[in-house]
Structure 1
Amino acid sequence: MQARKHYSRAPITEAVIDLRVQLPEEVKLDTLAQVYLTIQTDYPIREDMFVVEGLMIAGASVGATASQTQIGYRFSSSNQKQIFQARLDGFSFSQLAPYDSWETFREQAHRLWSIYRSLTNPKAIARIAVRYINRLDIPLPLNDFKDYLRTVPEVSPDLPQGLSGYFMQLQIPQHDLEAMLVLNQAIVPPPAPDVVSVLLDIDVFRERDIPNDQVGLWNYLEQLHIRTDQVFEACITDRTRELIN
């Protein structure tokens, strides 16, 4: 697989670095709230984050109950293009479009992770991931998705070949990285009537034997990033490259 090139019209709608952690029991929400004191100039918007749990009850009558538990905070930049999550189960940093470069994205994530880590002192890292969500806007009329994508659904020749929608997920082990690639692809609402938009969601993650030292951790994140670039290039054709160049 070849490395991803720099595209002037990069189709990235969101880039994510995510670290799931195990925190010491004494780390509570008030510990996470201290993050805001350090970053509020760059990330002035603070929101509580909750997880919702539901319970179905069956018997003489059927009912359902739901409860929500706060798990952390979401901090956003003024333009809401950068989002930092400080949770009891982990850390994540997202850059929404426009996306500049991996180097800029990585350095900001590294700065925020250092703040989160210094306050929470994680016992272990349970999952590490780099994810890129792309939206490819393909001009109409479109004769064949294969003109633009090298990974597409294969429709039986005995069926009509026109597609008005699809969702496809591939889970591909990355043995050399001891990681997993989850590739999601789907037709999504387009920004204009003269294009068809395809979501290309590339998520590469590892869930065991994750480096615990900071040098090893960020070196491995670098490898995950390189792999997401290689997967992107492997999924598109030269006609797509012409669209985003």
Structure 2
Amino acid sequence: MFVSFASAEIQTLGIFKQGDDVDLVQTCASCTYNNITSVISPNSTEVIGNFPMTKTGSVYKFTLGSDNTTQFGTYIVNGIGDLDGADTIWSYDFKVNYRGAEVTSSQSILYVVLFMVLFFTFILILFGINELPESNRQDEEGRILSVTYLKYLRPALWFVEWMIVIAILYLSSNLAFAFLTEQLFAKILFMLFQITFGITPIIVIVWMVWIYVQMFHDKQFQAMLNRGIFPQGKLP
């Protein structure tokens, strides 16, 4: 993207991803030189100053290193060139964020809608879990009267809840990176997402083993019930 030399207004070079190199450019067919006089970071400190730009035809370029684009926000680029033989000051800005792109209003609405859908789905499933039986039907003395297979929906729904939590953490971290200038909260959310997502395979293995053991016991209980034996809640 080329920035007009003649305009006196501060223009924008665009939006870039945090930690990426940024090519600072200027166009001037009648110039013999263009220099970067300063680049001001979002916290108003000078990142670099007084660097010559490399000329290719009528395009001048200077690459701002990735170690100078670690802050979120707007950077101001100031420079000077000899437009038509006269020293002329120019200036423009560029922005740095987590994604390297601007979050549009439609995207913001979509994020919020997805977040609300996930949240209310989580609540509805939680109510549904509480309505399901926790164990086999027993009498007052703890003897099993019948095997309740509906109880296996509870761990399945808990796993769905776990995946919803992971999705909410991921969505929340992206929203925080997009809209918050302070990165700490966004990094904490993303770290929690990475931890929960990382241990999910272990949870799946443990869950499947537990289901297998419970179903094996229930088959034994059912066989005893078919013979007219009403066992206690645990097998000897």
Higher relative strand content: 1
Q: Which has the higher contact order (CA 8 A, sep 6+)?
A: 1
Q: Would the TM-score normalized by the shorter structure come out above 0.5?
A: no
Higher relative helix content: 2
